[in-house]
């Protein structure tokens, strides 16, 4: 495993992290999910990304049971939209939801605590900054973060003085892969200049870039790749990239 500095935080993380969206899904026994996480740790993964909404807390619960308070493993999670579907990124709710996440993760501190895909209107409307600041002062959150829904929102947070090394928000999560490279121009240089950590989600485009799909093949129901509106076109593009992949 290759390790990298997590921005200017002084933390070293594995180049490959584990996204935990499906952790704790119905079907396999709990032992399956716990062993999966522990095997990833054995392979050198030390950063796991979850959310309170992933299987409605089950993902966090499996992480807590698998690694608990291990100091050599970093856990990132998110405060999400309400189960009823509305959004509330108020200070009071952020603090309340963080306490529940801490309980499920079996930790006294969340390493990276993210707002889960807020819109610009959400960022401007709610007093989320007060809640995140309170959690950091209390030592319950190490690094404040936003899982961005738009790259421009990251630029706005930096311009507002809310994001950067040593600021309230020190980490952005954004989509970046061979199909979706916009962040490289729209966000990467500015984030680098201000010392914002970047966690890149969907680097393999929901599995399309692994090469396991083939043009014309039916993708199984329930697979996250089916969420891609350009699925078959991207499968064909991925096949065109095979010679390049083989060369490396």
Per-residue pLDDT tens over the stretch 136-169: 999 999 999 999 999 999 999 999 999 999 999 9
Which is nearest to 136 in space by CA: 174, 170, 89, 87? 170
Mean pLDDT of 80-106: 94
Choose among 119, 111, 132: nearest CA to 17.
Answer: 111
Which of 122, 144, 147, 123 minimizes the C-alpha distance to 134?
144
Q: What is the pLDDT of residues 102-132, one digit of tens each?
A: 999 999 999 999 999 999 999 999 999 999 9
Q: Could you give the CA distance from residue 73 to residue 41 in angstroms, rounded to a whole number?
A: 8
Active site residue 176: no
- Distance (Å, whole) CA 178 – CA 204: 8
Q: Of 54, 113, 176, 248, which one is the catalytic site residue?
A: 54
Where in the chain are the domains?
3-203, 205-248
Report the alpha-carbon distance of residue 87 to residue 67 in Å, rounded: 30
pTM, rounded to two decimals: 0.94
For 65-79, 149-163, 167-181, 213-227, which range has the lowest pLDDT when averaged over its residues? 213-227
- Say which CATH superfamily domain 3-203 falls into: NADP-dependent oxidoreductase domain (3.20.20.100)
- The owner of tokens 């095979």 is 242
Contact of 213 with 238, CB cutoff 8 Å: yes
């Amino acid at each position: 495993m290759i390790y990298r500095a997590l921005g200017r935080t002084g933390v070293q993380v594995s180049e490959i992290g584990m996204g935990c969206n499906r952790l704790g899904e119905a079907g396999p026994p709990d032992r399956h999910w716990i062993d999966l996480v522990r095997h990833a740790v054995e392979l050198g993964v030390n950063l796991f990304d979850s959310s309170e909404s992933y299987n409605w807390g089950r993902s966090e619960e499996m992480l807590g049971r698998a690694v608990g308070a291990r100091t050599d493993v970093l856990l990132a999670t998110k405060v999400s939209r309400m189960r009823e579907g509305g959004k509330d990124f108020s200070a009071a709710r952020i603090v309340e939801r963080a306490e529940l996440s801490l309980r499920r993760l079996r930790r006294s501190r969340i390493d990276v605590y993210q707002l889960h895909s807020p819109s610009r209107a959400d960022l401007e409307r709610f007093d989320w900054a007060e809640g995140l600041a309170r959690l950091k002062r209390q030592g319950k959150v190490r690094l404040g973060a936003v899982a961005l829904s738009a790259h421009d929102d990251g630029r706005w947070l930096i311009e507002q003085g809310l994001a950067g090394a040593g600021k309230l928000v020190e980490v952005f999560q954004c989509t970046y892969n061979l199909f979706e490279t916009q962040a490289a121009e729209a966000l990467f240089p500015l984030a680098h200049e201000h010392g914002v950590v970047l966690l890149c989600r969907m680097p393999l485009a929901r599995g399309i870039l692994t090469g396991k799909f083939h043009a014309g093949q039916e993708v199984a129901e329930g697979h996250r790749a089916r969420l891609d509106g350009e699925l078959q076109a991207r499968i064909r593009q991925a096949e065109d990239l095979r010679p390049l992949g083989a060369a490396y």
